[in-house]
Amino acid sequence: MPAPREHVVVVGAGLGGVRTAENLRSRGYLGRITLVGAEPHPPYDRPPLSKQILTGAWEPDRAVLRDKPGLDEIGVSARLGAAAVALHGTTVELEDGARITGDAVVLATGVAARRLPGQPDGVATLRGLDDALALRDALAEARSLLVVGAGFIGAEAAHAARLRGLEVIVLEAGRVPCERALGPLVGELAARLFREAGADLRCGAGIARFTDARTVELADGTTVSADVALAGVGAAPALTWLDGSGLDTAGGVACDAGGRASGADDVWALGDMAAWWDPVRRRRHRAEHWTSAVDQAAAVACAITGAEPPPPAVPYVWSDQFGLKIQVAGRTDLADEVVPLHGDGLDGGPVRGTVVGYFAGGELVAVAAFGAARYLPRYRSLVAAGAGPAAVSAVAGELRSAATR
């Protein structure tokens, strides 16, 4: 039997890092836990940044995951405001020169906002609390917002700006918004949400360059400007600090299906930065989803404490856009067929209440729901079971008749 671990060093004091510490304690781990975080703020949750914080509904303290007393309560020693700059075996080196050695290291340093080539510094990005507060303040003074990228964060920012009465222009290089998460057909529903909310959404917009921090030149030579510009063009793990660690960091830290970093016995990685082996896709996959970081933190804590791992969960992501919750459960990227299950959104009817099933080889692999949260749990279990069209349509019929009773 391996010797019990006495010190776990968790690098990254965001969602995955905090959840790892909480799970270690709830599974009976009694050793030391050190939590290292680059930002000076107490660990906070990111989804509210582009929602309640940007709209002004919340002040930042409501997004805090655990403040100092909360960390003390679970016996976590936090080193905040000190980025890790190197990893040697299980020794983490910090920017202030400190070296912390654990007998297990958990990496959870998330991702950094992608920038377009030549992007001026004055163009906003939205990844951390400081970004959200700066953008909130800029929107309060502005009459217009230019968003480059109609993914989830671009859409949520566009919604917050419309709520504040700003004119909003959104440039999207792809065919539809949120195409990676929803696919081209269902992404049309997201496009309608932008337009119905009064945002000027321009898909297929080839962006040549920013000419300044508020102006974009398009491939056809025309320019678009606004008082504030936001680049919402995705994110990527910032892993240069792991150069020299011996870990495989191409496309995220490469891990097995339980989060153990490839080739390293005592190092795990999770959350947005980690590419875990996905037995369903039969390749490594990196997800930037809240629920994925939470599930992976539980699995890693089990591995470190020697507990039975939790069963694999169906992937899940949500986004709040234009007054409606979009939820996706499963792997839409596997689908070869898309079938409406509830609502008439795909036929031009209201987007709200529309639920769509994604099938691959006759099995349900994902479901997307637009303002139809009550239906999702049933379909999530059908996705987990890989249900066929007959079982799915029977459940759809049952739910429809329950809704009319």
Ligand X SMILES: Cc1cc2nc3c(=O)[nH]c(=O)nc-3n(C[C@H](O)[C@H](O)[C@H](O)COP(=O)(O)OP(=O)(O)OC[C@H]3O[C@@H](n4cnc5c(N)ncnc54)[C@H](O)[C@@H]3O)c2cc1C
Binding footprint of ligand X on the chain (CB under 6 A): 11-17, 36-39, 46-47, 49-50, 83-84, 108-110, 126-127, 153, 241, 271-273, 288-291, 293, 317-319
CB nearer ligand X, residue 169 or residue 178: 178
Considering the complex, what minimum distance in angstroms separates the CB of residue 348 from ligand X? 27
CB nearer ligand X, residue 315 or residue 345: 315
CB nearer ligand X, residue 108 or residue 178: 108
CB nearer ligand X, residue 233 or residue 273: 273
User: Which pair of tokens denotes residue 312?
Assistant: 């694999």
Considering the complex, what minimum distance in angstroms separates the CB of residue 106 from ligand X? 10
CB nearer ligand X, residue 271 or residue 371: 271
CB nearer ligand X, residue 108 or residue 302: 108
CB nearer ligand X, residue 127 or residue 202: 127
Nearest residue by C-beta to ligand X?
A: 14
Considering the complex, what minimum distance in angstroms separates the CB of residue 285 from ligand X? 13
Considering the complex, what minimum distance in angstroms separates the CB of residue 311 from ligand X? 20
Considering the complex, what minimum distance in angstroms separates the CB of residue 360 from ligand X? 22
Considering the complex, what minimum distance in angstroms separates the CB of residue 196 from ligand X? 20
Considering the complex, what minimum distance in angstroms separates the CB of residue 23 from ligand X? 13
